[in-house]
A = this chain, B = another copy of it.
């Protein structure tokens, strides 16, 4: 088989598109019943939207959050594989459901487009990485993934090696009156990633300020390890 005979422009009906950070979006119009049974989905959809990345999670989930809110779809499962292509963090794998393949396709298309924006706050150096996300109003995806308070502003930060993440979390909590909704470490909540992760909810201005102060100290500590991070996306905060 000559794999180079396969075009990079995919014409399969399952294909929706790709985005930064090795992200791909796919749909299945009517999933096979034997597969649906094994997937144990929490709702009886057979049109599925599939979304996954090798690197990053919070930015993509913020994008999916907006996409689900804007379409007739529902988030069915969120998983965080241990990945980042050799680095210390996660990727993501999300399944959406909808009554029609048009709905899930539109949700996935929108999530891919927004990923190119919301996955912008990723900083990867020779020593470790930092990830940030912010949403002015959390929806069902951020609620399911990180316990975000629905409708409130949402902040996220992950730091690797893990000690940096803990100092970032401490700094953010002292910066503004936000509520810590998720706290994750290598042994608790993560897939054994080398990160401390904190997610919090609160009023918009305070939540953004908490993320920004966490980002500032996180960058200073990461850079103290001897190399400047690369920024694969475009920071938006």
Instruction: Please give the residue numbers on chain A whose beta carbons come within 8 Å of chain B beta carbons, in ascending order.
Output: 1, 3-4, 6-10, 12, 14-15, 18, 22-26, 28, 31-32, 34-35, 38-39, 48, 50-54, 79-83, 85-88, 91, 93, 95, 123, 126-128, 160-164, 166-167, 169-170, 173-174, 179-180, 183, 185-187, 190-196, 198, 217, 219-221, 223-226, 228-229, 231, 235
Contacts and interface: CB of A to CB of B under 8 A. Distances in A.
Given A38-B183, A169-B35, A26 B221 contact: yes
Given A93-B186, A187-B79, A22 B127 contact: yes
Contacts of A229: 3
Contact of A35 (B12, B183, B220): B183
How many of these chains are in the complex? 3
B225 A161 contact: no
Contacts of A185: 79, 93
A10 B218 CA distance: 11
Most interface-central of A25, A26, A93, A193 (chain B CB within 10 A): A93
A93 B194 contact: yes
A128 B170 contact: no
Interface of A is mostly: mixed
A30 to B, nearest CB: 9
Contacts of A85: 86-88
B8 A224 contact: yes
B34 A180 contact: yes
Contact of A93 (B32, B162, B174): B162
A38 B199 CA distance: 12
A125 to B, nearest CB: 9
A12 B224 CA distance: 10
A24 B164 contact: yes
A118 B76 CA distance: 36
